[in-house]
Amino acid sequence: MAVANDCIQKDPFYNYKVKFKEVEREYHTKKELESIVNLEIRIPRLDIIRDMFVFCCFTGLAYIDVKKLTPNNIVPHIDGSQWIQSARQKTRSKLGIPLLPSAMEILGKYEDHPKVQNGECVIPVLSNQKSNAYLKEIVDRCGITKNLTTHLAPHTFATTVTLSKWIPIETVGKLLGHKNLRTTQHYAKIVDRIILWLYTSAE
């Protein structure tokens, strides 16, 4: 704007090169995810948070995307299966996600909840702050040392639930709402390292 309005003659950042630092994203392994799914919980607040987190792990949705989901976003596909149709809060990209049996089971668990019956939500989630606090209680019970937050769920979906099961990276990127395939490729690198480690360990 300064150059366009003749305030300055030359862009001071013309030769500046931006370097992006690659961040190693944490995720849950299959064993860790199973321990969270199978954990016996008798406290309602923890049970809801566990179900919300697991639902995110099997759909790739972020916390905010699950919070704004309503029964109207669950639609039948041409093959008779149930899909999520919505738009991601972060990127505003449209999404269509097939509901895996584990995710369908969680939705069925809350279909009689008053808020779900009123069309307000599909899972009566709590605030993000409370969700993260309660998730810490859950991982402590599971003996998991990772700092569990709601952000780990989409990462777990990308690595443990999809890419490690040989789902094409283009498909995973679309399910996650990534507009740039390079974003999804970061998860592919993680899976490649896991496969390489397993291969070398077996020798």
Q: For residue 19, what pLDDT band results from cuts at 50, 70 and 90?
A: confident
Task: Give the pLDDT score at 197.
Answer: 45
Q: In what order do the strands lie in the sheet with 74-76?
A: 74-76, 82-87, 94-98
Is pLDDT larger for residue 81 or for residue 185?
81
pLDDT more than 90, % of the chain: 40
Tell me: the pLDDT tens digits for 97-137?
A: 889 999 999 999 999 999 999 999 999 999 989 999 999 99
- Alpha-carbon torsion, ordered 97, 178, 138, 49, to 10 deg: -50
d(CA 110, CA 188): 34
Which residues 6+ apart lie within 8 Å of 180 measured at CB?
none
Q: Share the mean pLDDT of the chain.
A: 83
Tell me: the pLDDT tens digits for 151-197?
A: 888 888 888 888 777 777 777 777 777 677 666 666 666 655 555 54
Tell me: the pLDDT tens digits for 27-55?
A: 888 899 999 999 999 999 999 999 999 99
Task: Give the pLDDT score at 1.
Answer: 87
Quote the pTM value.
Answer: 0.76
